[in-house]
A and B are shown apart, each in its own frame.
Chain A
Amino acid sequence: MKNSEIDRTHIPFIIMIAVIILLPIIIPSAYIISVMVFVAVYGVLALGMGILIGHAGLFSLAHPVWFGLGAYISGILAARGWVSPGIGIIVSAFFVALISCIIGAPILRLRGYYLACATFALLLIAQIAGGQLTNITGGHEGLLGIPSLSLGGFVFQTDLHYYFLSWALCIGCFWFCSNLIHSRVGRAIRSFHDSEIASKSMGVNIPKYKLQLFILTSVMASLAGSIFCFYLCFTVPSFFGFHLLVELLMMIVIGGIGSIQGPLIGSFVILWLRELINIYFGKIFPVMTSGVDSIFFGILIIIVLIFMPRGLAGWVEQSFNLGRRTYAYFKGPGA
């Protein structure tokens, strides 16, 4: 009984790893590989934000800030040649943890709309600062001269290297988060999503868990940001602004609020839909793709929220259950 249950929880990971390894062998296309790198990076980001929003009920919109800080700190350290890129990633993750702890401690006292407003303001302040501090960040022209990532003598150069690195991070974070959510800490986190008073009276130390979760997800975002900046060798503040926030919200909503696998599904679906729009609408409206893009995705979010509040993950689960019930029905009683 125990063995079969462990096997069942491992199945999604085994399938994911198999698909990730087989994909470049079956379809060796540089275009698909490079889009899949973005799917992994945005997947890590959306996963962290989805846990904050869906499981803990913390409506924190400052997630792109940690992503951007991770990218900028490791990028600056590597571009100025102060430390090697591998150490730079760890240093930036440490700094982001420190900063998110300092900011998170007062800001997580807020709830609901007010938390959302404060973190949204934080996002825009960070973007303005990124544009204004020209001598540190390079301003709106962007940070140039970031070298390739090297870890212990191995230099990451081709798309395929970054593909495996980013998916290793993504699957690692996914595995960690799904274990976390089903552990004692995860149950505590889900309990204060529903009622803070009830979970407080059961003895859950709410501020401590909130802050820990906030720091954890911001470190995940920072690691994703570091890989993002080494992959592109270039960053500008507008990568990490309002546009990224809307994209992340889309991934979470379309994937499904309150499920672990939802944000990953959302990241995959959104990025490939965007590529399709760019390919097909790029021919019809060559100039207006960003307008078409925001109209299409805005309407998609509204439709999903009204007609499919649990998103794609909920839909998959529903059809899976339906399939199981149909199977049991045809197999007859005693199955």
Chain B
Amino acid sequence: MTLLSQIIQYAISGITSGSIYAIVGICWSTVFLITNVLNFATGEFVMLGGMLTWLFLGLGLGLAPAAMIAIACTVLIAIALERLAIRPVRYPSEITYMVITIASASVIKGIILIACGSETRTLKHFIDIEPIRILEATLTPQVLFVIGVLIIVTVGLFLFFNLTLFGKALRASAFNFNGALLIGIEINRFRLFCFGLAGALGALAGIVIAPIAFTGYGIGLMTGLKGLVAAIVGGWSISGTVLAGLALGLLEGFGAGFISPGWTDALALFIMIVFLILRTLSFYPRLKKEPS
């Protein structure tokens, strides 16, 4: 394989995983901005999408109905999580929310472990055609599905948040919680909606990535954390998260190809730590102080 086709191959795999991180990052930020809950069960939604689809396919359903039911189940689980575990907390603090979501993630993981076993699973490719060849690199059609889902999700959310009244109200309540309450926005319904949306997007990401990467009961943690890296580096906005997710995926693809595949997870997390520490160094006030 020549160097050029190697580069193309790594870029393809990087963009594939980057798209997933971007979608997962959007799940984190929709929930975080509106409810101020950092939902550590986000990664489990991705796992649920893949594993439930596998489960329903095993029951003899077709791909489309199985995927639909899996997404619906994940949305229900996400809504149940908000209604049963997060809303009843009497003294909400960041620590309580975080421990509760970590515990819920562990419950979801345990249920899937008992229902589906600890083996890694994989789905069949959605359409069965020959891989496309670019020089010597191969592009499986499934990658196009992943990128397509990212584009649809991004454009759809952009239109939703900017054009519909409901989306505008959501943005308003993320911007100013009390102000939104004051003009009669029903915050509790919005919290449910955000968790449901995160569940749906996470499950969708889990379903389209399952034919390429293996899925199993334990994939939620790492996938979720990389989504969190994308969301934090992207500054919790949709466009920023998508860019940061793709950049993270590319970095990981090249890192795995040219350096060592074992260390790529550590690289992403290290970037997050460095980025968070750099944020605390106050460059911005100094910039502001200069005469404009």
Which residue numbers of A lie inside 8 Å of B, CB to CB? 53, 59, 106-107, 109-110, 112-114, 116-118, 120-122, 124-125, 128-129, 131-132, 242, 246, 249-250, 253, 257, 285, 288, 290-295, 297-299, 301-302, 305-306, 309
Contact = CB atoms under 8 A, between A and B. Distances in A.
B98 interface: yes
Given A116-B98, A295-B110, A109 B221 contact: no
Contacts of B91: 309
Contact of B103 (A112, A113, A242, A302): A302
Contacts of A122: 269, 273
B95 A257 contact: yes
Interface stretch (B46-54, B62-70, B171-179, B259-267): B259-267
Contacts of A302: 85, 100, 103-104, 107
A257 B232 CA distance: 28
28 contacts: A59-B95, A109-B280, A110-B276, A110-B277, A113-B38, A113-B94, A114-B279, A117-B228, A120-B225, A121-B225, A121-B273, A122-B273, A124-B266, A124-B269, A125-B270, A128-B266, A129-B266, A246-B102, A249-B99, A290-B110, A291-B110, A293-B110, A294-B107, A294-B113, A298-B105, A298-B107, A302-B85, A305-B89
B107 A121 contact: no
Interface string B86-115: 001111001110111011111101110110
Given A124-B225, A306-B89, A109 B277 contact: yes
A295 B113 CA distance: 10
B272 interface: yes
Contacts, number: 119
A163 B29 CA distance: 47
**Which range contains the number of B residues in contact with the other chain?**
35 or more
B203 to A, nearest CB: 20
A122 B266 CA distance: 9
Contacts of B113: 288, 290-291, 294
Interface in B175-195: none
B114 A292 contact: yes
Contact of A117 (B85, B262, B276): B276
B277 A128 contact: no
Interface of B: 38, 85, 88-91, 94-96, 98-100, 102-107, 109-111, 113-114, 221-222, 225, 228, 232, 260, 262-263, 265-266, 269-270, 272-273, 276-277, 279-280
Given A107-B277, A118-B272, A309-B91, A295 B111 contact: yes
A297 B107 CA distance: 8
A306 B103 CA distance: 13
Consensus secondary structure, chain A interface: helix
Contacts of B272: 117-118, 121
A298 B85 CA distance: 11
Nearest to A131: B262
Given A242-B221, A288-B113, A293-B110, A125 B269 contact: yes
Consensus secondary structure, chain B interface: helix
Contacts of A128: 262-263, 265-266
A56 to B, nearest CB: 12
Nearest to B107: A298
A267 B100 CA distance: 19
Taking each of A109, A118, A129, A285, which has the highest tally of chain B beta carbons within 10 Å of its own beta carbon?
Answer: A118
A118 B109 contact: no
Contacts of B279: 114
Contacts of A125: 266, 269-270, 273
Contacts of B114: 285, 288, 291-292, 295
Taking each of A112, A132, A292, A298, which has the highest tally of chain B beta carbons within 10 Å of its own beta carbon?
Answer: A298
Contact of B106 (A113, A257, A294, A306): A294
B95 A298 contact: no
Given A249-B102, A294-B107, A301-B103, A118 B263 contact: no
Given A294-B106, A298-B104, 5 more contacts: A117-B232, A125-B266, A128-B262, A294-B110, A309-B90
B110 A118 contact: no
A291 B269 CA distance: 27
Nearest to B115: A291
Taking each of A290, A295, A302, A309, which has the highest tally of chain B beta carbons within 10 Å of its own beta carbon?
Answer: A302
Given A301-B100, A302-B85, A110 B280 contact: yes
B87 to A, nearest CB: 10
Contacts of A305: 89, 96, 99-100
B264 to A, nearest CB: 9
B98 A59 contact: yes
A114 B98 contact: no
Contacts of B103: 246, 249-250, 297-299, 301-302
A293 B111 CA distance: 10
